[in-house]
Structure 1
Amino acid sequence: MSTGDTAFDTDAAHDEAIRAIRTRRSGHNFDADAELDDETLEELIRDAALAPSSYNLQPWEFVAVQDDDRLDEVVELAYGQEHVKEAGTAILVVGHTEPETADRVFDEWVEAGRFDEETGQQVKEQTVAGYQSEQAGRDYGIRNASLAAQNLLLSAHARGLTATPMSGFDFEGMAEFLDLPEDKIPVMLVAVGPSGGEEPERLPRRDVEEILHRETY
């Protein structure tokens, strides 16, 4: 697995990261005449995959749809949200409900010296046990893949693209249309593409004083 490490100016990266977080917004104004090229698509997914995950299991996949006819079907499954077609690219963020990467990942933990073999085996068994119930597996998949979805949105914004996340779609229908295996679940649909220009002002956000609770709720 790639580490994704890149040399960069720490202060500049901090400023850019904060700027991306504070200026990102869900957009619907896409340039329907422009396309998202393969290199940019792969960079978006590379950034998404740098999201944190429980024990680095990285329980996510990404299904990109760009074919016009198939995008029409995605629009229908997304209850007629036409901006999906206008974006030119729809990415379904998919979560794992089974710890299928556990053997590989914990071998990497041991090889990196983070665990000795005995401890690595114990922690792996504990982690796998956490997926034993269907509900727990779904929860793990959704929580972790949602972190990757946010990375995807921030990467798109930092690159000057427009992106919007959607949970309003036919989950079962989308899973069937995209041939997801039974142990994979749709988590988030993201429409992404070249920007078509200005967006309406962001709606107000709740104040910190309203949402921050100290020591207890």
Structure 2
Amino acid sequence: MTTQQAETDDSDGAHEERPAAIETIRSRRSGHNFDAEAELDDETLEELIRDAALAPSSYNLQPWEFVSVQDDNALDEIVELAYGQEHIAEAGTAILVVGHSEPETADEVFQQWADAGRMDEAAAEETKATAVGMYDDDRMGRDYGIRNPSLAAQNLLLSAHARGLTATPMIGFDHDGLAEFLDLPEDKIPVMLVAVGPSGGEEPERLPRRDVDEILHRESY
């Protein structure tokens, strides 16, 4: 396992060697300090999306899409739609994480289940019917369309940090306005906006996080 030396967040200030993935999780920040003179290259953008798309999803339906914006004029418009969050333009790249409200990938995905020998054709059809049926409930369908892409968004944030980039997620934006501006189909959900780009330097110290003893409930709440 790849490891790297890192300072822990333990109260005793001790050092320990821990897996690089854990260090990425523990050191990631939602940054706002971007290098406005640098650009995110297309290859890195595609790698970020490739990493995001490895997130888990219900039935492996992968109900997500990503809309990237790098045009300066369009970014200025997005800043307005995001209530004046100027760091979006400074980042140079905005990515809207989009969710499906309908099970549009079901036919392809369950055929892949069958082709891989994970289940026979009959079982694949039966399971697909169950998965598709869950979307008949509008609330459940919308929940799927938000929860699954949110996992992908976290992958994107971690990938950006591991690559030395700065990224910050936002839900504070005009959802209908941004959906219209980016020509989202009516059945697509604007889940999260992510500003990502080369780092502009150090960020403020992380604010305190709630202690494990406060948030971990054992056996019942």
| 1:111 has 2:119 as partner | no
CA distance in 2, matches of 1:215, 1:122: 34
Equivalent position of 2:209 in the other structure: 205
- Cα deviations across residues 83-121 of structure 1 (Å, max 9, x unaligned)? 000000000000000000000000000000101111110
| 1:63 has 2:67 as partner | yes
Question: How far 1:133 sits from its partner (Å)?
Answer: 2.0
CA distance in 1, matches of 2:3, 2:50: 21
Equivalent position of 1:191 in the other structure: 195
| 1:176 has 2:180 as partner | yes
Equivalent position of 2:87 in the other structure: 83
CA distance in 2, matches of 1:106, 1:73: 40
CA distance in 1, matches of 2:187, 2:173: 19
- Cα deviations across residues 141-190 of structure 1 (Å, max 9, x unaligned)? 10000000000000000000000000000001011010001110000000
Equivalent position of 2:141 in the other structure: 137
CA distance in 2, matches of 1:32, 1:117: 52
> SS state of the match for residue 197, structure 2?
strand
Equivalent position of 1:41 in the other structure: 45
Q: State the structure with more CA Rg.
A: 2
Question: How far 1:11 sits from its partner (Å)?
Answer: 4.3
CA distance in 1, matches of 2:142, 2:87: 28
Structure 2: gaps (5+ residues): 5-17
CA distance in 2, matches of 1:214, 1:80: 42
Question: How far 1:134 sits from its partner (Å)?
Answer: 1.8
CA distance in 1, matches of 2:163, 2:79: 25
- Cα deviations across residues 173-216 of structure 1 (Å, max 9, x unaligned)? 01101000111000000000000000000100000000000111
CA distance in 1, matches of 2:119, 2:191: 31
Question: How far 1:12 sits from its partner (Å)?
Answer: 4.1
CA distance in 2, matches of 1:11, 1:164: 26
Structure 1 segments, 4+ long, off by >6 Å, are none
TM-score by length of 2: 0.92
TM-score by length of 1: 0.94
Equivalent position of 1:120 in the other structure: 124
| 1:20 has 2:29 as partner | no
| 1:96 has 2:93 as partner | no
CA distance in 1, matches of 2:111, 2:173: 38
Q: How many residues align?
A: 208
Aligned-partner residue type, residue 102 of structure 2: E
Equivalent position of 2:219 in the other structure: 215
